[in-house]
Amino acid sequence: MDKAQTNKVICYIVSAGHLLVFTHRDLPLDEVGVQVPAGTIRPGEDPAAAALREATEETGLTDLKVLRKLGEADYDITPYRREVMRRRFYELTTNCPVTRRWTSQEPDPEGGGQGPLFDCYWIPLEQGHVLSGGLSNFLGALVP
């Protein structure tokens, strides 16, 4: 049986040497881990535009700016699902203070229904290794 391939964006929102991360309020940390905004590129959507859309949806921030594309990598999520994600990694920035913590709710989840609740906060960039599921693949590109 062949694996499905999906096109995804991964967003590193960076400000003052900190990385914006979140945890799911409604799911166990040991199940979903610490994450950064990410999601599916819609058919015909520009990947950079998808990065802005996903980051805004998941964090509620509206002043985001894409700085650059960092690279691409495939991520096989088998045995969870027979799927290979083609991930495009982007660096974004914001004027949001790195001391701020907040809860956000995704307004338009892929499966429909009520979106998940996210606890958003900042960590020093050097602690980015805590990210789950291969999300830290391109963090090294952020270090000067």
Which residues partner with 13 through β-bridges? 92
Q: Across residues 30-56, what is the average pLDDT?
A: 96
Q: How many domains does the chain have?
A: 1
User: How many percent of the chain have pLDDT more than 90?
Assistant: 74
**Percentage helix, strand, coil, to 5, in the chain?**
20, 40, 40
CATH code, domain with 131: 3.90.79.10
Q: Letter for the amino acid at 30?
A: D
Eight-class DSSP state of 129: G
**Tens digits of per-residue pLDDT, 123-138?**
999 999 999 989 999 9
How big is the chain by its Cα radius of gyration, in Å?
Answer: 14
Per the structure, the complete domain to which residue 31 belongs is given by: 4-142
**Tens digits of per-residue pLDDT, 69-123?**
999 999 988 877 888 989 999 999 999 999 999 999 988 766 667 888 999 999 9
Q: Across residues 9-25, what is the average pLDDT?
A: 97
Q: If we measure between CA atoms, which residue out of 67, 80, 81 comes closest to residue 3?
A: 81
44 exposure class (CB count in 10 Å sphere: 0-12, 13-18, 19+): exposed
Contact 25, 117 (CB under 8 A): yes
